[in-house]
Amino acid sequence: MARLSQWVATAALVVSATAAAGPEATSHIEIQKQNNQSLYWGPYKPNLYFGVRPRTPQGLWTGLMWGNVDNYPEVQSNFRYTCEQGENIHGYGWDEYDARDGGIQSIHDDGNHIDITTSFVKIAGGEHGGSWAARIKGQVQDGAPADLKTMVYYYIAQEGDGKLVPQSTGDKLGIDGDIELKGDSKALGTYSITVTKGKGDHPEVQNQFSKIRTGDKTLLRSVQVADENLWQGKGLLYNQLQEAVKTLQDDIDIEDPPPAWQVYRLEHRPAVGNAHLVQKTFQGSFEFDVIFNSGSAGHTLGSDDVTKEIKKVSQSFSDRFKQVFELKAPFNGGKYDAFGKSMFSNLIGGVGYFSGAQLIDRSYADEYEELNEGFWEETARARARKAQQLEGPYELFTSVPSRPFFPRGFLWDEGFHLFPIADWDGDLVLEIINSWYNTMDEDGWIPREQILGAEARSKVPEEFQVQYPHYANPPTLFLVIEDFMKQLSNAKVSGNTKPSAGLRTAHLDNPEAGEEYIRKLYPLLRRQYDWFRKTQRGEIKAYDREASSSKEAYRWRGRTEELVLTSGLDDYPRARPPHPGELHVDLMAWVGLMTKSLMNIAGELGHTEDVAELKKNLAAIQQNLDDLHWSEKEGCYCDATIDEFEEHTLVCHKGYVSLFPFLLGLMNYDDPKMGKILDLIGDESHLFSPHGIRSLSKQDPYYETGENYWRSPVWMPINYLAVTKLHDVATHDGPFQNKARELYSQLRKNLVDTVYKSWVDTGFAWEQYNPETGAGQRTQHFTGWTSLVVKIMAMEDLPSSSTGKDEL
Ligand SMILES: *[C@@H]1O[C@H](CO)[C@@H](O)[C@H](O)[C@H]1NC(C)=O
């Protein structure tokens, strides 16, 4: 009897352990397998208003296009497919989105007088990532004619192997009911895709064409296209429309033309092919579904299921949002709720999957060593030799800074993107980090801007396409990985203290799997660290510099006279002219951050030799930051260079660069220098503005000059680092606690107010904000790192203390 009860007890334990993490998710590999299924499908073509594809190079991809067809001129000018800036759209994007279940996007298309809603749901099952459905709704805007005519297209393309066959052909004029295609490919197994007839009226007109061009039927044009051209959905459609228009041309009376919708109609020609264009013509509001049923899923979804799933997804999103981002005063009023949801959903809904070759210059030319005075002219000549070649294919699963303008992966943005996503779906973040480290080469280099495939390249001017393996970029992923490590070590001691959320928290619910993940990643982090220290090293001994450590000094490679693109802070003023003896304080701080993170991770993993070495490096970096970069006179950190007398000299431009050792947590709470840095942050005649911390001091000679990119505007990532660091100082004992508290409260409020107001006014988040007016500037729909605002709203409300007030 005793043995039986023992057996029962053990069995119960096993059950509870697996239940916490979702079905049978125990080992890292097992969890990864389940994540692969759960994250297989998504709106992973964020460059399109709505584009669904799987996370595999040769899958299926589908995209929505539409446009008004009331008048001829509008047919082309307001045609929508890829996200573009400056179109007459008052905001678009995901109001709610979860990478596991789906979400809802709305598009306020003023130019076409219609509001489009795309609801997307995923239903698990089978071996090929489950099924999904999209509901496309068009609602005629207030004030627009009720008989507004809209043409809607759905593009479906089977990449690589496999086939896709229409099941119904209708008659010559089109198809009356649903359209169904059946497919089969290695990546997807067997599947079907249905475009329903949906609801809505269709235009009608009695004229000579009314017998051959009716508005009530759905058209299907199937074609076979070379694989490398499949991405050009819009071009393909235009070609097909043009051909179809030709057949009418001779019969059209130019003085009295038929309505545009009758002319712009595809030939209805369903056939086997790898690209299929579905066309619908609506009059007034409309709705239809696109349903993808995976053959191995064991279910067949219909429109009723879609209705149910959309409701469910919306409810669970709202519940989880409340739990994960509990907005704190003064942002806990209802009006910030929709704003916060939209900012977060656009970030996570902007995650994309990219694959293809990229251009890399692997010449390792001598000039790229940047050893000589005048090195920036030598490197310009070396680049002009155009030694770049297409390399790959690579693949990358990543979020993007901005869907219309930067729909691709950027290394230094990505760390910031992952902060809010990590709170929501830690396992998604681990997948993304994995994907980035899979693009690292044997030396430890990661291309900083990943322009994969022809479609991605079509968006980037040629001179910015080439990646160079001596160019670095701020290693922001370390920030996120260290955060995960901290949560993991807590989970190992006391279990995951956050509520379990299925696969979203699987690696924390199973700390051993989490540790396995980190163990696998660690050598890659170490390789990247070693690459950084080797390739971006600065000179100390060659110029007889006085510093405690003769090793720790750093210089960004790849600068020109005006720009240091690799630093991420492009036109921020640096030493002039450039000099091979230059040292960059922001880079030294980034290396310090890597050292500290790696040391903590190595400690957790028990790599004691690494810990000892990294500890020594960190102490040397902290010491050299003061020895080589601190200016007592200016009261801040500065870059350094070599002057005309061959002497070490500081180059001080007060602004973001001056703050980096503080921002990245390399200063002690009682360091008197910290007081000076806080003074600089809080000084309105230098950096503090009602809209956040300025990138450059108002008193700097370069303030608002040139491109004025990082020379005055307020940027969210740096402000986010500042606000979190201020909170950290405010909540730890030390002489600057009160001052930090004041600055924290004010800055937190200024940042949220600014982004919120601009969002209400324009319908968009922006790349940067004007420090005087608070207006959003430059790139529109910048829901990459600007979305950090949702984390700032969820940060602690620390009301100003009455004594601290005077210190500001
Ligand atoms: C998950 O998917 C990736 C990319 O497709 C693949 O490399 C990996 O082996 C998969 N992992 C598991 C455990 O199936």
Give, using CA atoms, the residue closest to atom 2 of ligand 1: 36
Q: Which of 392, 457, 373 is nearest to 643 (CA)?
A: 373
Which residues face 275 on adjacent strands?
157, 223
Q: Quick one: pLDDT at residue 448?
A: 97
Relative to the CA of 56, which ligand 1 atom is closest? 5
d(CA 540, CA 142): 68
Look at residues 717, 693, 698, 740 and name the one whose alpha carbon lies nearest to residue 788.
717
Average confidence (pLDDT) over 119-123: 98
| Ligand 1 nearest atom to the CA of residue 36, by list position | 1
Give the model's pLDDT for residue 4: 34
Q: What pLDDT score does 804 carry? A: 43
Residues 208-229: what's their mean pLDDT? Answer: 94
Residues with CB under 6 A from ligand 1: 29, 32-33, 36
In this prediction, residue 7 carries a pLDDT of 33
Render pLDDT for 775-796 as a digit per residue (tens, 0 to 9): 999 999 999 999 999 999 999 9
DSSP assignment letter at 355: E
Question: How many angstroms does the Cα of residue 394 sit away from the middle of ligand 1?
Answer: 15
- 128 pLDDT above the threshold of 80: yes
Check whether 10 has a pLDDT greater than 80: no
With a cut of 60, say whether residue 688 has pLDDT above it.
Answer: yes
Measured in Å, residue 360 CA sits from the centre of ligand 1 at 26
Q: Quick one: average pLDDT of 263-272?
A: 96
Residue nearest to atom 14 of ligand 1 (CA): 33
Q: Which atom of ligand 1 is nearest to the CA of 55?
A: 5
What pLDDT is recorded for position 801?
65
Distance from the CA of 514 to the center of ligand 1, in angstroms?
17
Q: Residue 775, by phi and psi: left (phi above 0), alpha (psi -120 to 50) or beta?
A: beta
For ligand 1, atom 11, the nearest C-alpha belongs to 33
pLDDT of residue 553: 98
Specify the pairing of strand 102-109 against strand 114-123. antiparallel
pLDDT digits (tens, 9 = 90+) for 145-169: 999 999 999 999 999 999 999 998 9
Q: What is the DSSP letter of 499?
A: P
Which of 741, 738, 754, 758 lies closest to 795 in space, CA to CA?
741
**Residue pLDDT, tens place only, 25-84:** 489 999 999 999 999 999 999 999 999 999 999 899 999 999 999 999 888 889 999 999
Q: 499 versus 387: which is more confidently predicted? A: 387
Please say whether the beta carbons of 105 and 50 come within 8 A. Answer: yes
Longest dimension (CA), the chain: 98
Which of 28, 32, 34, 58 to probe ligand 1 with, by most ligand atoms within 8 A of CB?
32
Give yes or no for residue 18 having a pLDDT over 60: no
For residue 270, pLDDT beyond 70 = yes
Residue 2 has pLDDT above 60, yes or no: no
Tell me the pLDDT band of 8, cut-offs 50, 70 and 90. Answer: very low
Nearest atom of ligand 1 to the alpha carbon of 29: 13
Instruction: Give the span between the Cα atoms of 255 and 190, in whole angstroms.
Output: 51
| CA 416 to ligand 1 center in whole angstroms | 25
**574 pLDDT above the threshold of 70:** yes
Count the Cβ atoms, other than its own, within 10 Å of residue 70.
Answer: 20
> Which of the residues are catalytic?
570, 767
Coil, strand, or helix at residue 219? Answer: strand
What pLDDT is stored for residue 505 in this prediction?
96
pLDDT in tens, 334-376: 899 999 999 999 999 999 999 999 999 999 999 999 999 999 9
Percent helix / strand / coil, the chain, rounded to 5: 40, 20, 40
Each residue's pLDDT tens digit, 658-686: 999 999 999 999 999 999 999 999 999 99
When pLDDT is cut at 50, 70 and 90, the band that residue 645 belongs to is: very high
Name the residue with the closest Cα to ligand 1, atom 10. 33
Residue 481 to residue 479: CA distance in whole angstroms? 6
Ligand 1 centroid–CA 33 distance in Å is 6
Query: What pLDDT digit, counting tens, does each position of 462-495 carry?
Result: 889 999 999 999 999 999 999 999 999 999 988 8
Task: Please write the tens of the pLDDT for every residue from 733-757.
Answer: 999 999 999 999 999 999 999 999 9
CA atoms within 13 A on the CB side of 732: 10
